[in-house]
Structure 1
């Protein structure tokens, strides 16, 4: 697919059928239908590289009729746009960006090639570094007292060395600055370019005039250190990009479709819901679906983080990206590739950096104000010194120093670089972020509320008294359960399969939601389900705790008592302990029976719990805590948890949650272990600390440096070194989040673990 070049007139493209199509038509074809007349388009905008670019792109698109949402992602060089047709026509997104000076095209997986930016930055950095180091060596000789012709020769050699650095390395900034000025706007590269060119021009003038000083070292050193900071920033963003690329690589390019014409291989984009697909052993599942035939084992590590294979048989739900290990499976597609769980994970990973939290909005506003403020300060400094000293040379030197030293690169990097590293750390921990602003909100919570079934427990009951159940009764129960997909029915079938007990599907089988199964054979009525419904009389609630009981009954007579246990999530107790150690209150909100919730709460050491709650009750409890100035993290998974997840200050759901629950949550954790909750909270707190530290570094640097530059105490060379080191320092500080923990925190964690083990 081609894209429109900047300045091109009405560019046309050749569509898949060989017909000429415009970018607007391509936009409609490649946009996702979100329902209700709303569409989402993903645009690749490879030329954005700073907060000012992002703001310009978002502002340009947001002003178009029909556009309801525009969010740029700096790491992915991509922009998400949600739009509605106006008069049955799509907005001209690509044309509007072209007019603003940004080439763009509709993003597809095939166009997502690795950016050549890294190679370009490294080459420019090498040239700038070589020239700067050699010029510095010559400058040392001048500073040491070289006079006359020797000093003049050194200046001319420095000019010759500076020229390739200015022309080759400086183009990274010059092209960007010119594109901005040509379209009537500014960005961070404008004052950088002006400062570099003015320093080089003034130095060249002094060299021609035989002056004692020249600042070729300042111009080249500035480029060198700026390129170091920009390269480090690019490397960190490429790490985030590689995580997304790694997920995308799990999706196959096509699949073997089985239809009336036999088997044929089709591209993944052509698969529609209801399509029958053959997944051979060793292949990955192409789209979300349901197994219709075959038996195998699946590597589910991409979804759950667990390496133990799971069995798959008829009726098993499978997600895109899972690896089929042992046998062929025939599945029926339940969604298109772009709507699969794997695609949702990729979108969440991409959204992690794009959030506009309070710190991010503050940094963006500060960066947007930077250019006019800096130019005004530099101009006032020049005019003030010129009127005071009547020395235009000294006035220009001070203005250059002000331009250079006030560059807000450190401020522009303060928040996004931390968000990139935090998203990467969360991804490594098996946590996906739906919105970058959720990181900031998670660090503010003081209370964590858990749902029970499917959250603190796995929501997958298993039969615990198989040995005490008569094999004939178990076979009968399995025959009835084969007609249901209820979790308890699945558990009965699994127990029967392990005990080599056969199960023949029964006819005249009916399922009564919330009660159980009923089958009729002549005058005989079999029931399998809740004890009171199966026996036809009210039963007192026993002390089964978080165990559940079903009865198999024949004409009112009990044949078997089946006891199920919902397995607790691994790491549940240790997670609760970690959250308490971090000063958080912990509670349970559940719709389950009181005895079941109380038993689990006791097992986990939780005193604050509520049972038999409706979805509205959970929302009311969260609202009451919010009114009392608490900030709640809600962790839940079910359809009935969606209102509570939306009402909480921040929310989290497991990957196995219902679609509505996942969509309502701010975070989705992939692993079965509940440790992801504590990990995410710890990473968000550390990220918040680093952001505040970065702000302090960036603001403090400018507060100290600018007055010295305005007063004439800083030369252009010192300004270049100071400004560049501030950017490098901010990036290096953000990269500390990439380590496991700071040493002191690691040590205290080890001591806490040893103390805990000793007390046990």
Structure 2
């Protein structure tokens, strides 16, 4: 295999993505288990050119899921193969694309599959379109191969937002036209006058025609927004922009028709419209990129299940399931309703609804709760005891209605600024019109228009969107992805941080308490333990498999392992019976090893080794929790786990036991958030049992992007195994607010001077043409300078909150 190119890194940088490795990380050299797994796969399969293409800009990789169901894929493939012709085609959404290296990786994996006819990847929208020769290509096998690298596929639901297609086109047209108008205006400023005859008239007409196109093309988004605001009775920031465009254009049109194109504001008008479009584009750019990184959430409509109808098996939406239906639940699939098991036994996981890890064995006739996953390796049949409309999942999967939650009652800072700016600009323009009316309507209108031109809200329309874009891009590099437009406005209000436990503060998997228990095994016992553990999907088995792999355990394909549900695994080799499982099953009675010691390995019922396990806590959890508290924020731990275990974890992390709430059902979590929230809570959770709580908090996020529903309800999501990006986001939001308020101060100072010049009647088109872009450039440079990384305090340095944060 060729040498493995790696991104430039320091000893503290992840070998896969280059992100900082959290202190105390389980895997040295990697920021998370996902990066370690993907790095290993790339090396193993000779795909290390990926690192040449990323140029050190890869995102942290989610840990690949091995138990994901593909019930949703079957009807799509069936429909694709039912179309006429030798080549089938299918379009899917994909989660996790972030650069050209991802496109190359998918194309390379597709090329290695037999029967493929073509693959087109759209990284901007997060879509793939594949073509294959009928009956010669394994679609599911290809998707599983790609998902092994941390990506996820889903039905095609992503659609480009209208603004994402519309704004760049409008911006390009206006920028091109503006440059031409500016060239014509230069001739007026250097001496072209009406006495020059036809040349003056031609340049005037060209400026008028091109400016008309700019007003129509570039002004439309602001006209539409202003009209919509007036219909709702809201003075929107786009109102003075729209009025300014129309009045400046109207005045310039009158001057041009009167033969005085040199007195028109065409160049200033065109520059203003173009800059406002730039600001509008910046506002949506990073947010759309973050949203497209994920699969689109379709709530309950996105859940599919196999329904048995006599001798036929049909894949249907979960919403079509009725009481008494017989369902076939494949490995990794979800049970959408309360049901009873029809087969002999099954292993299920309820971590998605309870938030707690662990699997249990269900025997024939026992109930299965809605939201349970089939954690076994074989499909099982269940009988629905309720219709989906009565399922507890319906409430948990619903989209949050508009007008609920902390964000809805939060009055955004920019709404108030916009209203005040509109009222002030209109009042000042009216004042100028009134003061100069005695000098004649023409002069009065000229002053009023000049006021609308020079009071350009560039600090709001350009510099502020740029500031938000810079902060969002920086957070993205740290694994914090913003999804909500106003999240950075809400974060400075956060005074309480509420964590779910399992999958949030912990990683949703187990780890060895003592690695020596594996490292000191004899070679024979080590290989036998690996043969046993590697053939089970139980969380304890997955943990032991990973640990044994690191010490070089060997796999025996001919080994025949028997799994005893709820007990453990058994292997007979050379007349010796080996067992890996519960102590009272694997050991003879004379061994008194407590169950807390974890699974044990026995040889003919004699103890060989014990493997104590514990929940894997995020490596920086304690540091970040204590840092949040030192900054003046209250930290809470809210979990569905047993109260004693929740209190134990709270103590280990330094959270007051009074702030540790255990045994919480989804409704209890929501009630707890409601009682605590004073429009100042941030909630971090990973399971659908956190869904109702998400709707009550000021802002909410999730590290679980590999499961449905929660990412779509979140204001932000996290990649990687560290929590430091949350505190970094809180810190940067405060810094952003300070920068924005300084920008407003500069804008007010500039406008005071500009208004004075206008009211004195000294403003001319040339002065306006110089002043407006000059101030825009100055505010942009100030923004970049204020938010440059070199001026930032390191994220590890706690900074106390200001004593009072205005609403």
Distance in 1 (alpha carbons) for counterparts of 2:774 and 2:720? 40
- 1:201 pairs with 2:254: yes
Which residue pairs with 1:215 in the alignment?
263
- 1:623 pairs with 2:672: yes
Q: Using a 3 Å threshold, how does the CA distance of structure 1 residues 680 and 166 change in structure 2: closer, same or farther?
A: same
Q: CA deviation at 1:115?
A: 4.1
SS of 1:633 mapped into structure 2:
strand
Which residue pairs with 2:489 in the alignment?
440
Distance in 1 (alpha carbons) for counterparts of 2:797 and 2:740? 28
Corresponding residue to 2:568 among 495, 517, 520: 517
1:127-160 CA distances to partner (integer Å, 9 max, x unpaired)? 2333344433339xxxxxxxxxxx7648997665
Alignment map for 1:561-580 (pairs within 5 Å): 561-564=610-613, 566-572=615-621, 575-576=624-625, 578-580=627-629
Unaligned runs of 5+ in 1: 1-15, 20-28, 33-74, 77-104, 140-150, 209-213, 249-270, 274-288, 292-331, 333-354, 754-760
Alignment map for 1:479-628 (pairs within 5 Å): 480-482=532-534, 484-497=536-549, 498-500=552-554, 502=556, 509-512=563-566, 516-517=567-568, 529=581, 549-552=598-601, 558=607, 560-564=609-613, 566-572=615-621, 575-576=624-625, 578-580=627-629, 582-589=631-638, 613-616=662-665, 619=668, 623=672, 626-627=675-676
Alignment map for 1:173-184 (pairs within 5 Å): 173-175=215-217
1:274-294 CA distances to partner (integer Å, 9 max, x unpaired)? xxxxxxxxxxxxxxx989xxx
Q: CA deviation at 1:239?
A: 6.7
Which residue pairs with 2:736 in the alignment?
687
Q: Using a 3 Å threshold, how does the CA distance of structure 1 residues 428 and 164 change in structure 2: closer, same or farther?
A: farther
SS of 2:611 mapped into structure 1:
strand
Q: Using a 3 Å threshold, how does the CA distance of structure 1 residues 116 and 650 change in structure 2: closer, same or farther?
A: closer
Alignment map for 1:183-332 (pairs within 5 Å): 188-189=241-242, 191-199=244-252, 201-202=254-255, 205=258, 207=260, 215-216=263-264, 218-224=265-271, 226-228=273-275, 230-231=277-278, 234=281
Unaligned runs of 5+ in 2: 1-79, 84-89, 94-123, 126-157, 229-238, 296-314, 318-330, 334-378, 380-406, 800-807
Q: CA deviation at 1:570?
A: 4.4
SS of 2:536 mapped into structure 1:
coil
Which residue pairs with 2:213 in the alignment?
171
Q: Using a 3 Å threshold, how does the CA distance of structure 1 residues 245 and 444 change in structure 2: closer, same or farther?
A: closer
Checking the alignment, whether the CA contact within 8 Å between 2:167 and 2:281 is kept in structure 1 is no
Q: Using a 3 Å threshold, how does the CA distance of structure 1 residues 726 and 655 change in structure 2: closer, same or farther?
A: farther
Q: CA deviation at 1:752?
A: 7.9
Corresponding residue to 1:127 among 170, 174, 180: 180
Q: Using a 3 Å threshold, how does the CA distance of structure 1 residues 444 and 379 change in structure 2: closer, same or farther?
A: closer
1:84-120 CA distances to partner (integer Å, 9 max, x unpaired)? xxxxxxxxxxxxxxxxxxxxx97599x9799444543
Coordinate RMSD, CA, aligned: 5.8
SS of 2:565 mapped into structure 1:
strand
Q: CA deviation at 1:435?
A: 1.9
> More deviation in 656-665 or 424-433?
656-665
What is the TM-score with the length of structure 2 in the denominator?
0.51
Which residue pairs with 2:190 in the alignment?
137
SS of 1:138 mapped into structure 2:
coil
Q: CA deviation at 1:401?
A: 1.9
SS of 2:720 mapped into structure 1:
coil
Distance in 1 (alpha carbons) for counterparts of 2:226 and 2:670? 53
Alignment map for 1:461-476 (pairs within 5 Å): 461-463=510-512, 464=515, 465-469=517-521
Distance in 1 (alpha carbons) for counterparts of 2:758 and 2:562? 89
Q: CA deviation at 1:669?
A: 0.8
Alignment map for 1:32-111 (pairs within 5 Å): 107=160
1:466-525 CA distances to partner (integer Å, 9 max, x unpaired)? 13456666666555545532221112233444322547776763433xxx537699xx99
Which residue pairs with 1:666 in the alignment?
715
Checking the alignment, whether the CA contact within 8 Å between 1:536 and 1:556 is kept in structure 2 is yes
Which residue pairs with 1:431 in the alignment?
480
Q: CA deviation at 1:667?
A: 1.7
How many residues in Structure 1 have an aligned counterpart in Structure 2? Answer: 526
SS of 1:668 mapped into structure 2:
strand
SS of 1:499 mapped into structure 2:
coil
What is the TM-score with the length of structure 1 in the denominator?
0.54
Q: Using a 3 Å threshold, how does the CA distance of structure 1 residues 235 and 496 change in structure 2: closer, same or farther?
A: closer
Which residue pairs with 1:459 in the alignment?
508
1:684-733 CA distances to partner (integer Å, 9 max, x unpaired)? 32333344445555567667755764674645554555555555555555
Distance in 2 (alpha carbons) for counterparts of 1:671 and 1:380? 57
Q: CA deviation at 1:174?
A: 3.7
Checking the alignment, whether the CA contact within 8 Å between 1:482 and 1:503 is kept in structure 2 is no
Checking the alignment, whether the CA contact within 8 Å between 2:291 and 2:483 is kept in structure 1 is no
Checking the alignment, whether the CA contact within 8 Å between 2:510 and 2:615 is kept in structure 1 is yes
